[in-house]
Structure 1
Amino acid sequence: MELTLTSLSPLAYGALNCRKNFAMASPRMRIKQGRSELPNLTITSKIDELQVTERRSANYHPSIWDPKFIESLSTPYTNEGYSNRLEDLKEEAKRVIKDARDTSSRLELIDSMQRLGVAYHLEEEIKEAIDLVHLDDTTTDDLSTTALRFRLLRQHGYPVSSEVFDQFRSKDGRFRDGISQDIAGLLSLYEASHLGLEGEDDLEEARRFSTIHLKSLVGNLESDLADQVQQSLEVPLHWRMPRLEARTSSISTKEGVEGANEVVDGLGFKEKLSFSRDRLVENYLWSMGIAPEPHFSKCRIGLTKFICILTAIDDMYDIYGSPDELRRFTDAVNRWDTGALVDLPDYMKICYLAMYNFANEMAYDALRDHDLYILPYLKSQWLNLCTSYSMEAQWFYNGYKPSIDEYLSNAWTSVGGPAAMAEIARGDVAKSIQCYMSEERISEEQARDQVEKLIGYSWKKLNEASTDSSLPKSMINSSLNMARSAQCIFQFGDGIGTSIGVTKDRLTSFIIKPIWIEPSTKPYLDGMKMSNRR
C-alpha cells in the first residue's frame, strides 16, 4: 500500500491501539517552570461586544529561515551523472549483501544500511538476508552479535525470545561479570533491550545492567566511541528519529521544503495569525522524521501543511483565545458547518477554514484514489483534539491542577501539539512532571524518573502493537516515527517554539550542510566487502 497523507492520517490518531498508553514525549518535553503573571481578560456576554483588553503572548521569535535562502539551496544530485552513479551503487550494494558469508556479516550490513538511511533501496535483498538470519539459529558466545540479531529480528517482525540472552547469565540469573567490560556487547545489549515487550522483565534487567556499566566506562573511551555511547544513553537507537543520524540529503529534501513552502504560504497564517509560530522548515523536519524516504515527498508536504494548521490551533487554545472564544470554536468544530463561522472572530475563521478545507480535501482524495469515505473519521479526530485542547484551557483559566491520571487521559490527544518548558512561563497548564510533583509531593528528579518509566512502558506497548498489527509496514513505521520525531524535536526543550538552538543545528546539518555523497564511494563498498571476508 502506498504511503500517502490520506492513508497515514487514521494511523496518526492511534490505529495501533495505543490510545490510552501514549505518553511518548521526552520528559523534558513537559517540564514547566514557575507560573508567570498573566494579564486580565475582560469579556462581555454578547459576541458583537466582545472585547479582550489584552491577550497573552508567547513571545515567539520570528522564523529564522529566509524563504529566498531556502529557495537558493542547490543540490548536485539533479545531474544525470549522479542518477547513473546511484544505480551503480545500488547494484553494488545488492551484491555486497548477497555475498555476505555468515550471519554476523549479514547483520552488520543490514544495520549499516538502516543507519545510513538507504535501506529502502534494498528492501528485497534485506528481506532475503534477514530470512537467512532467522533460519540460522546457531548460538554464539559473542554478545554483540547475539544482541544485534535479536534487535533486527524484532524490528523486522520476526518472533525471537529474550531467552537468547540466558547464556550470558550466571546460575543466579544475573548477567556475568565477564561481559561488564565488553563495550560493543554492552552497547548492543542496551540497544536490543529497548525492543522489549510488556512482561519481559529479563530485558528490563538487561537495560539496567548495560546502562550501569556503559555509564561507568564512557569516561575512559576514545572520543568517537564515547560520543556514540553517550548518544545512545540519552536516546536509544530504537527511539531515535530516522535519517537524521545519517545526515544525508537528497533532491527530495530541497524540493520538499520548496513545495511545502508554496502550499503553506497559501494558508496566509503569517499575515493573519501573528500570535502563532511561523515554523515551516521546523515542521518539515517533523514530517521528514515521520516519512523519511524520498518517494514519500507528497506525503511530507501534506504532513507539513497539517502540522502548520495543528500548530496554529494549538497556539490559539494555549495562548491567544479567550475562554468564550475557545468554547465557540470547539462548538463550531462539533457542528462541522461553515454556518458556524458567523459566531467566530476573524482570526478563528482563518483557523477553522484551514482545518475544514484540509480535512475535506483529504476526504476527497481518499474517495477518489482509494474508494474510501474517511470524512467522518477526520471530523471525529479533529473534534477529539480540540476538545482535549479545550479541557487544558479550562484547567488553566480555572487554576485547576489535574492529577497525573487526568492529565495523561487528556494528553494522549493533546500531545499531538506538545508543549515545553516555556509554556508555564507564559501561563499554560501544568504538564506531566508537575502533575507528579504536585500529586505525590515529590521532587522534580523523582517525578522525572516516574515519567521516564512511563515512556519506557509506552514504548513496550508500541512494540507489542506494531508486532501484532496487520497494517502495512510503511504505516507502522510512520506511526512509530511520530513518537521518534517528537523525541528529537523536544529532546532539549521546545524545538518548535524556540528553534534557534539544537533544532537550528539539526536543520543546518540535515538540509543546508549535509554529508554529500562523493562521486566515488568505491572505497566504502570495498571496505564492506573486506568486512565480509573476515
Structure 2
Amino acid sequence: MIKMCRPKNVVYDSTKTTGPVVEETVVRRSANWKPNFWDLDNLMSLTSEYKEDIYKQKTYELQEKIRQALNDSVGSSVGNLDFIDVVQRLGLGDYYKEEIKRALDNEFINNNQWSDDDLYTSSLRFRLLRQHGYDVSQDVFNKFKDEWGALKMCLCDDVKGMLSLYEASYLGLEGEDFMDELKAFTTKHLKALKGSTINPTLARKVVHSLEVPLHWRTPKLEARWYMEIYEGEDNMVPMLLDLAKLNYNIDQATYQSETRNLTRWWIDVDLRKLDFCRDRILEHLYWSLEMIPARQYGRFRKGLTPLTSLITVTDDVYDIYGTLEELELFTNVVDRWDASAMQRLPYNMKICFMAMLNTTNEIGYKILKEDGYDVIPHQKKAWADLCKAYLKEAKWFYAGYTPTLKEYLENAVISIGTPLMLVNAYLLSAEKITKEALDYIESMPSLIYNSSLLLRLANDLGTSPDEIARGDNPKSIQCFMHETGASEEAAREHIKYLINEAWKKMNNARVANYAFLDEPFISSAPNLVRQAQCMYQYGDGHGIPDQETKDRIKSLFIEPIPLGKIYINI
C-alpha cells in the first residue's frame, strides 16, 4: 500500500514503515535543508588561551579599579549616566549591579533637577531608569513640545539627542501614545540624515539603531559591536575597554568548552543522520547563549541547548516527515511519556521520541539530584502541549484549512516552542525551584505569552517565504491576507504593528513585581525575543543560515577580540 505524505512541490523518497498492525510504503518528502555549515570535528577541537587563570586574574584587577572609579564618581549627572550606559553596552553591567543601582536611585530621587536637562540627557536618563524598572512618566518629554503640543522642530538639529530619544521611545508602555509619537518623529528625521555631514561615529550609530533599536538587540552580540565603536570615541576609557575585551574573550573560552560538550552530545544522539531534520547544534547553543550569556550559567546553556535541538527535530517530524496518522500516534506517545507505547511508530520517529524522552529525563534527574525537586511532570506537560499544537497545525494542513489570524496565533504561541523553552529556562537557572513559580509560568502570564507571540511573529516574518515554497502551513502573514484580502506588503506591515504592540506589553511585564520569579529568568524571556529578531533579521537564519548569521556566530564562538598591548600587559 502506498500512502502519500503532503504532496507538494518538494523532493520525495520512499521508506518502508513496519509495525504490528500495518505494513506499508510511505512516500515522504525532504525539506532539502542545507547541510550543517560547521564541521563537527572543528567544533570539538575549539580552544582558547583565555581559559587560563592569568586572564581571569587580570580581569578581576580591572574590575576593582573600575569599581573604585564608579564609587568615587562625583561628576555631573550626564557623566554618571554616560558611564553607566557604556558599562552596560560593553557587557559589564552584571559586575556593577550595586553601583549602578545606587547611582540610578540617586538620579530618580533627584527628579526635581531634571527640568533643565537637554534632549540627550533627558532621553538617556529615561531609558536607563525604565530599563531598571523605575516608574518614570513619559511626561518628562513634555518640555520638548511647542505651544501647540507638537514636538519642536529645532530638536532635529541635535542628532545625538534625537538618537537618544529614538532609543528611549522603544521603552514605551501600553497606552503611552506619546511614546509612539516620539518613535515616529525620531525615526523620520534620523532617516532623513542619510548623506548629511555628521560625525562618522555618530553616523554609524544612527544607521545601526535604525536597523534594530538598542532595546531589541541581543546583549552579547551588541557588546562586541559596541567595543569597536567605543574604541573610536573621544572620551574612551582605555581600562574599561580592556576589561570589556578580556571579559568577552574569557566568556568565549567558556562557550567553546560548552560547544565541545554539546557537539559530543549531538554526535552521540545521532539524530543528524535523519535527512528530514536540521543539523544545527551551534545555532541552538547561540539561542541559549543570548538568553542568559553570563558565564556562570553554563548549566542553563548545557541543558537548554539539547532541548532546543529536540524542538527543532520534533518540528521537522510534524512539518516534513510524518503522515497524519503517524503524527496522531506520536502525539499520543508523547502525552503518555511511555516508551512502551511507541511500537507502532516508524523507526525514525521512535528514535526521535527516545531522544526526547532520555534527554528530558536526564535533565530532570540532575535537577532532582541537585535541587531536590521532581520537575519531570512539568517538562512532560510542556512537550505534550507542544506536540498537540503541532498536531493541530498538521490537521489544518491536511484539511486544506486556513485559520483566521486570531485562531492561528492562539495555537502558534504554543507551537513556536517558547513555553517549553521558558519552563526549562526557569528550571535550569532558578536558585530555588518552587511550585508557585512553575504554576505561574505554566499559566502563560504576559511575560511568557508576549515572548511567545513575539518569537512567532519574528519567525513568520523571516521564514514565511521559504516555508510557503516548501508547501508548509500558512503563517500569520498568509492568514491575515486570506482573512482580509490584504496584499503581502500590507500584511507584513500589520505583523510589524503587532510586534510593536507586543513589545509594549513585554515592557510592562518586564518591570512588574513578581512574587515567585527572579533574575536571570525574567530577563531570559525578552532576551529570547531579541535573539529571534536577530536570527530572523535577514531571513531564516535558523533553518537556512545566511552569511550574516554565520559571521555573528563566528564572532561569538570562534574569533576572539585582538587585545592591544598599549594598555594591557599580561
Q: TM-score, normalising length from structure 1?
A: 0.86
Write the distance in 2 (CA, Å) between the matches of 1:414 and 1:181: 47
User: Match for residue 475 of structure 1?
Assistant: 521
Counterparts of 2:557 and 2:260 in 1: how far apart (Å)?
Answer: 12
CA distance in 2, matches of 1:461, 1:362: 32
8 Å contact kept, 1:56–1:319: yes
1:57/1:426 contact within 8 Å kept: no
> Measured at CA, do residues 50 and 199 of structure 1 come closer, stay the same or move farther in structure 2, by a change above 3 Å?
farther
Kindly indicate whether residue 219 of structure 2 is the aligned counterpart of residue 246 of structure 1.
Answer: no
Match of 1:493 among 539, 549, 570: 539
- Going from structure 1 to structure 2, the CA distance change for 1:514 and 1:228 (only over 3 Å counts) comes to farther
Aligned to 2:549: 503
Q: Look up the SS of the partner of 1:495 in the other structure.
A: coil
- CA–CA separation in structure 2 for the residues paired with 1:154 and 1:50: 62
Decide which of 66, 78, 96 is 1:93's aligned counterpart. Answer: 66
Deviation (angstroms), 1:356: 1.8
Question: Is the contact between residue 539 and residue 546 of structure 2 (CA under 8 Å) also seen in structure 1?
Answer: no
Q: How far 1:216 moved relative to its partner?
A: 0.8
Q: Kindly tell me: are residues 218 and 94 of structure 1, through their superposed partners in 2, closer, same or farther at Cα, counting changes over 3 Å?
A: farther
TM superposition shift of 1:37: 6.0
Shift of 1:520: 5.4
2: CA distance, partners of 1:391 / 1:226: 48
- 1:127 maps to which of 75, 92, 101: 101
Q: Which secondary structure does the structure 2 equivalent of 1:245 belong to?
A: helix
C-alpha distance 46-89 of structure 1, shift in aligned 2 (>3 A)? closer
Selected match of 1:266 from 265, 268, 281? 268
Give the whole-Å Cα distance in 2 for the aligned partners of 1:495 and 1:414. Answer: 19
Deviations 1:335-369 (A, max 9, x none): 12222121211111111122222332333333333
Kept in 2, the 8 Å contact 1:144–1:185? The answer is: yes
Corresponding residue SS for 1:230 = helix
Deviation by residue 1:105-145 (Cα, 9 ceiling, x = unmatched) = 12111111111112122222222222222222111331111
Q: Does 1:110 align with 2:78?
A: no
Whole-Å Cα distance in 2 between the matches of residues 519 and 80 of structure 1?
Answer: 19
Cα distance in 2 between the residues matched to 1:66 and 1:82: 29
Give the direction of change, closer, same or farther, for the CA distance of 1:214–1:50 in structure 2 (3 Å limit): farther
Q: What is the alpha-carbon distance in structure 2 between the residues aligned to residue 45 and residue 398 of structure 1?
A: 26
The C-alpha deviation readout for 1:306-332, integer Å capped at 9, x for no partner, is: 111111001111111111111111111
Identity %: 41
Whichever residue aligns with residue 257 of structure 1, its letter is T
Matches of 2:41 and 2:367 in 1, distance apart? Answer: 34
Query: Given that residues 124 and 168 in structure 2 are in contact (C-alpha distance below 8 angstroms), is that contact kept between their aligned partners in structure 1?
Result: yes
Contact 2:45 2:260 in 1 (8 A): no
Structure 1: tracts of 5 or more residues without a match: 1-34, 524-534
- Report the Cα distance in structure 2 between the residues aligned to 1:42 and 1:64, rounded to whole angstroms: 27
Residue 209 of structure 1, aligned match among 173, 185, 194: 185
Tell me which moved more, 46-55 or 354-363.
46-55
Q: CA RMSD in A?
A: 2.4
Task: Give me the whole-angstrom Cα distance separating, in 2, the residues matched to 1:306 and 1:44.
Answer: 27
- Name the SS for the 2:31 alignment partner: coil
CA deviations on 1:253-303 (whole Å, 9 max, x unpaired) are 2112112212332222123x2211111111111111111111112211111
Q: Is the 8 A contact 1:249 1:516 kept in 2?
A: no
Aligned pair 1:463/2:439, yes or no? no
Q: Answer yes or no: is the 8 Å Cα contact 2:18–2:24 preserved in 1.
A: no
Structure 1 residue 519: Cα displacement: 5.1
Q: Which moved more, 1:81-90 or 1:301-310?
A: 81-90
| Partner residue in 2 for 1:257 | 259
Amino acid at match of 1:188: S
Count how many residue pairs are aligned between Structure 1 and Structure 2: 488
2:404 aligned with 1:431, yes or no?
A: no
Aligned to 2:159: 183
Match of 1:322 in 2: 323
2-structure distance, mates of 1:469, 1:371: 27
Instruction: Specify the code of the residue in structure 2 equivalent to 1:131.
Output: D
- The separation in 2 between residues aligned to 1:47 and 1:484, in whole angstroms, is 47
Q: Report the alpha carbon displacement of residue 41 of structure 1 after superposing the two structures with TM.
A: 9.5
Q: Please report how far the alpha carbon of residue 408 of structure 1 lies from its aligned counterpart in structure 2 after TM superposition.
A: 0.9
Structure-to-structure mapping, 1:332-351, within 5 angstroms: 332-351=333-352
Report the equivalent of 2:294. Answer: 293
Aligned mates of 1:459, 1:296 — CA distance in 2: 26
AA aligned to 2:212 is: V
1:440 and 1:299 map into 2 onto residues whose CA distance is 43
Whole-Å separation in 1 of the counterparts to 2:46 and 2:148: 60
SS at the partner of 1:180? Answer: helix
The answer to whether the 8 Å contact 2:290/2:527 transfers is yes
Aligned match of 1:225: 202
CA distance in 1, matches of 2:329, 2:280: 27
Cα distance in structure 2, aligned partners of 1:75 and 1:145: 41
Q: Residue 87 of structure 1 aligns to which amino acid in structure 2?
A: Y
Distance in 1 between residues matched to 2:79 and 2:20, nearest whole Å: 70
Q: How does 1:331-410 map to 2 (within 5 A)?
A: 331-410=332-411
- CA apart distance, 1:40: 11
Q: Which has the higher contact order (CA 8 A, sep 6+)?
A: 1
Q: Is the 8 A contact 2:402 2:479 kept in 1?
A: yes
**Corresponding position: 1:172 with 2:148:** yes
| CA distance 1:263–1:300, shift in 2 (3 Å) | same
Q: What is the 5 A alignment of 1:140-155?
A: 140-155=116-131
Structure 1 pair 158–383 and aligned structure 2 pair: CA distance change class (3 A): same
Q: Is the alpha carbon distance of 1:387 and 1:517 closer, same or farther for their aligned partners in structure 2, counting shifts above 3 Å?
A: farther
1:197-242 superposed Cα distances (whole Å, 9 cap, x missing partner): 1111111111111111111113324554333222222211111111
Q: Partner of 1:84 in structure 2? A: 57
In structure 2, C-alpha distance between the alignment counterparts of 1:93 and 1:50, rounded to whole Å: 70
Give the 3-state SS of the residue equivalent to 1:405 in structure 2. helix
**For residues 516 and 204 of structure 1, what CA distance do their matches in structure 2 show?**
41
Structure 1's 164 and 329: CA in aligned 2 closer, same or farther, altered over 3 A?
same
Report if aligned partners of 2:126, 2:136 keep a CA contact under 8 Å in 1.
Answer: yes
Instruction: Assess if the C-alpha contact under 8 Å between 2:540 and 2:546 holds in 1.
Output: no
The residue type equivalent to 1:91 in the other structure is E
Judge which range, 62-71 or 457-466, deviates more.
Answer: 62-71
Structure 2, gaps ≥5 residues long: 1-7, 225-247, 419-458
Amino acid at match of 1:340: A
Alpha-carbon offset, residue 167 of structure 1 = 0.8
Q: Distance in 2 between matches of 1:169 and 1:131?
A: 27
Please tell me whether the aligned partners of residues 56 and 320 of structure 1 are also in contact (alpha carbons under 8 angstroms): yes
**In structure 2, what is the equivalent of residue 303 of structure 1?**
304
The TM-score normalised by the length of structure 2 is 0.81
Q: What amino acid sits opposite 1:207 in the alignment?
A: K
Per-residue deviation, residues 409-455 of structure 1 (Å, max 9, x unmatched)? 11111222856131111111111111112211111221111111110
- Once residues 280 and 34 of structure 2 are traced to their aligned partners in structure 1, the CA distance between those partners, rounded to angstroms, is 10
- Structure-1 separation of matches of 2:18 and 2:288: 41
1:73 to 46, 54, 62: 46
Q: What's 1:4 paired with?
A: none
Contact map agreement 2:44 2:263 (CA 8 A) in 1: no
Task: Write the distance in 1 (CA, Å) between the matches of 2:199 and 2:36.
Answer: 39
Distance 2:17 2:280 in 1: 34
